[in-house]
């Protein structure tokens, strides 16, 4: 959305593999993530970031990842975990698309907010 302004990384509590469904729904928007890999947040602990955003829906049995490195600002945006979706293929795709679109909408607002102050 703003590659000239942001260098974006993604990681989680555990490396769980790249979801083929995530690859598929991102490709629907013309975004190719097929070359990406699942990473643990501790891979970035020696780096400094202006912003760290957690996007998980924290539960007792599934806590959000904790970034122990340096960050200017940290935010939490709760989203359902699409990997927990159940049902047939179409129902699971619908969940992935819904979460993808919610994250995109929130990122668009974030980019606009950081551009205006």
For residues 108 and 77, give the distance between their C-alpha atoms in angstroms, rounded to a whole number.
13
Helices (H) and strands (E) in the chain, counts: 2, 2
Q: Is residue 33 part of a domain?
A: yes
Q: Is residue 37 part of a domain?
A: yes
pTM of the model: 0.85
Q: What is the pLDDT of residues 15-53, one digit of tens each?
A: 888 999 999 999 999 999 999 999 999 999 899 999 999
Number of structural domains in the chain: 1
Domain containing residue 102: 20-116
Task: Give how far Cα 86 sits from Cα of 2, 83, 91, 92, 98, Å.
Answer: 33, 9, 7, 6, 14
């Amino acid at each position: 959305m703003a590659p000239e302004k942001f260098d974006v990384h993604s990681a989680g509590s555990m490396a769980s593999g790249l979801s083929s469904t995530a690859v598929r729904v991102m490709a629907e928007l013309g975004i190719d993530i097929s070359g990406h890999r699942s990473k643990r947040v501790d891979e970035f602990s020696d780096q400094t970031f202006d912003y760290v955003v957690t996007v998980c829906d924290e539960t007792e049995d599934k806590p959000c990842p904790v970034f122990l490195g340096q960050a200017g600002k940290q935010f939490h945006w709760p989203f359902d975990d699409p990997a927990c979706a159940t049902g047939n293929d179409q129902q699971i795709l619908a969940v992935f698309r819904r979460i993808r679109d919610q994250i995109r909408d929130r990122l668009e607002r974030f980019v606009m907010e950081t551009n205006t102050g």
